Amino acid sequence: MSEIADKPQIATKPLKDLPDLQTLVALCKRRGFVFPSSEIYGGLNSCWDYGPLGIEVKKALKEAWWKAMVYDREDIEGIDAAILMHPRVWKASGHIDSFNDPLVDCKQCKARFRADHLGPVAKIEKETGNIPTIEEMTELLKGMNCPNCGSKGTLTEPRLFNMMFKSHMSAIEDEANLVYFRPETAQGIFVNFINVQQTCRRKLPFGIAQIGKSFRNEITPGNFIFRTREFEQMEMQFFIKPSENDTFFEEWKSSRMAWHESIGLRKEKLRWHQHGESELAHYCAKAFDVQYQFPFGWKELEGIHDRTDFDLKNHQEFSGKNLHYVDEEKNKFIPHVIETAVGCDRSILTVLADAYRFNDERVVMQLHPKMAPYKAAVFPLMKKPELLEPAQNLYQDLRKKFRTDFDVAGSIGKRYRRQEEIGTPYCITLDYESLEDKAVTIRHRDTMKQDRVAVNKVMDYVESGLENWE
Ligand code: ATP
């Protein structure tokens, strides 16, 4: 065994879960996962930038989703549609008329609330599974004190607020050239249904997948990257015959839950929530959410929706274009759709929150290696040329295959702590003995187990460890 500073040891002290969201926000900023947007100007409410480590998690997550949807299956095509779409799209989709949240203001302290999140309304929703109507909300909120400043009788009656961001498509700002920033990526898929079906000569059932930005002028954004006004979605619309909704709904439910587990999320932190009658969105016949147990409670991570033929039927009506499908028996119909819709940013939050472990000695991000920004880190024991050179050679070799970090600063113990905090699965130390035995010490992040491995076997050792990760 080598003589490196941190002697082999077993992880005896139990590790605990993420205590609160602020702890994660602080780590994300300190280590370069996520920064507040425009921070030198004081930040912009609920806008966040991904740093050098965060972008790696984001890319890994999108890749894992794309692989599961497009590459591993033979029945799904990918697209990348424009964010700005013809304004009639949003009339047809129902967003202009129905994409509203109930807004309540405090006249005293100017705080703003979503009426359906306020105590008496939320209570009814929890008990019945239904969101009360705007009239019922008005009744329920009568006489309620402001949850922010405590003032009596200062809350306005709830009013509906459309959440789409608007802009104008030319220098002249008038109604005629109004455009909307898409509030969901799904519509880019629906308007391309015929294009994809025909160019790829697809037969039902088949799906179209897309990853892209969406924008919602949320009344109460917050909880870090859980709810923001600009965010990325990973959505897939699966086009089916009208009688097949229940079968495919169940298939997609189990396939999506399995995916969340495949990126490392703990089973016990995931559950299903079925939408009650009035909780259902205007386009939906049935909806189940995958919920995750965040530090701030069980919340939606992904939605599986039976959108029926709502979208294609409306686009056919509003565009005047034929969006029918003709099957082998020459039956002509508008396909139905099962949708899976997950937020990329919300998924990143889930991955980071789920991985966070700590005790009084260390913080370990127990990320699935697929999600880890670095797969390995190489340390020369000391900053001496005779160690630096072979360590650099090993590092240069490894980084051709997977993202590897190189660190010479501080004690070995400190370097381990730094890598644990960002979730690097393997740390590789080259010491004086390495010059004799041509071997290095590989330390496992989660167990702190150490193995002595021949330098020319390190690549295989790490690769097979990453591939066979439990
Ligand atoms: P919520 O009830 O949380 O507002 P939703 O039911 O409106 O979400 P969908 O329209 O079904 O959400 O969108 C699909 C997914 O997109 C959500 O499950 C979530 O992961 C993500 N998402 C939606 N709105 C936001 C947002 N403002 N910020 C980040 N992610 C979001």
Residues 306 and 449 in one domain: no
pLDDT tier at 10, thresholds 50, 70, 90 = low
Q: Is residue 299 part of a domain?
A: yes
User: What is the domain extent for residue 329?
Assistant: 40-86+166-355
User: Which amino acid is located at 445 in the chain?
Assistant: R
pLDDT tens-digit series, residues 159-170: 998 999 999 998
Q: Is 360 exposed, middle or buried, given 0-12, 13-18 or 19+ CB atoms closer than 10 A?
A: exposed
Residues 158 and 180 in one domain: no
User: Which amino acid is located at 129 in the chain?
Assistant: G
Spell out a b/e string for 187-220, using b for 16 or more CB atoms within 10 Å of the CB, else e: bbbbbbbbebbeeeebebbbbbbbbbebbbbbbe
Please identify, among 325, 355, 385, the residue that sits at the C-terminal boundary of a domain: 355
pLDDT at res. 310:
97
pLDDT at res. 155:
93
With a CB cutoff of 8 Å and minimum separation 6, the contacts of 172 are none
Q: Is residue 2 part of a domain?
A: no
pLDDT tens-digit series, residues 173-188: 777 789 999 999 999 9
Best residue among 273, 284, 300, 345 to mutate for probing ligand 1, ranked by most atoms within 8 Å of CB? 300
Residues 73 and 199 in one domain: yes
Q: Is residue 264 part of a domain?
A: yes
Residues 152 and 193 in one domain: no
Q: Is residue 95 part of a domain?
A: no
The Å distance, Cα 72 to ligand 1 centre, comes to 26
Residues 105 and 179 in one domain: no
Tally of structural domains, the chain: 3
CB 283 within 8 A of CB 94: yes
The Å distance, Cα 231 to ligand 1 centre, comes to 9
Residues 305 and 400 in one domain: no
pLDDT tier at 132, thresholds 50, 70, 90 = confident
pLDDT at 6 over 60: no
Q: Is residue 26 part of a domain?
A: no
Interior CA angle at 206 toward 204 and 209, to 5°?
A: 155
Q: What percent of the chain has pLDDT over 90?
A: 85
Residues 145 and 73 in one domain: no
Mean pLDDT of the chain: 94
Residues 214 and 129 in one domain: no
CA of 302, closest atom in ligand 1: 18
pLDDT at 99 over 60: yes
The CATH number for 212's domain is 3.30.930.10
Residues 139 and 263 in one domain: no
Beta bridge partners of 332: 326
CB 259 within 8 A of CB 370: no
Residues 283 and 393 in one domain: no
Q: Is the minimum distance from the CB of 343 to ligand 1 under 6 angstroms?
A: yes
pLDDT tens-digit series, residues 373-431: 999 999 999 999 999 999 999 999 999 999 999 999 999 999 999 999 999 999 999 99
pLDDT tier at 2, thresholds 50, 70, 90 = very low
Please identify, among 321, 355, 389, the residue that sits at the C-terminal boundary of a domain: 355
Question: Whole-model pTM?
Answer: 0.92
